[in-house]
Amino acid sequence: MFSLKVLIFFGLLFASKATKSENFLNFDFSLNSYVHPAYPGRCVIDMEPALITLELGQSVSLPNLPCVSLLCVGDGYGALYKCNHSSPPESCRYGEFLDLNVDFPECCKRKVVCD
């Protein structure tokens, strides 16, 4: 399914992102197929009316989903990253996102409201 080159790239990328931001570990990710026969080896996202194509290592924020990032890991497969908040402190709840205009994972930060 994946070539060794793609797996090594993905591992190195994950390690570099994890060391840059403590918040990077506060995410969910899923590996999905974004294969399109017209664009071999690329990740293809159909966002009517546009078609987004990504090469290995390219990423894009998805405008219709707040604070979600898609990283093309090769051969048409992409890692979809989204925020995963653990439970807030006792007697508190999460409020709105602080800034959805910053890059992932910084956009995951949310206001904590305590009663």
Q: What is the pLDDT of residues 96-105, one digit of tens each?
A: 999 988 988 8
What are the pLDDT digits (tens) for 84-97? 867 888 999 999 99
Residue 112's pLDDT is 93
| pLDDT the model gives residue 22 | 44
Reading the block at residue 90, the tokens are 């006792």
pLDDT for res 24: 45
pLDDT at 13: 57
Q: Which regions of the chain are under pLDDT 70?
A: 1-26, 85
DSSP β-bridge partners for residue 44: 53
Question: pLDDT value at position 23?
Answer: 43
Residue 114 has a pLDDT of 93
Whole-angstrom Cα distance, residue 82 to residue 65? Answer: 9
| 82 and 72 Cβ atoms separated by less than 8 Å | no
Tell the burial category of 9 from Cβ atoms under 10 Å away from its Cβ (0-12, 13-18, 19+): middle
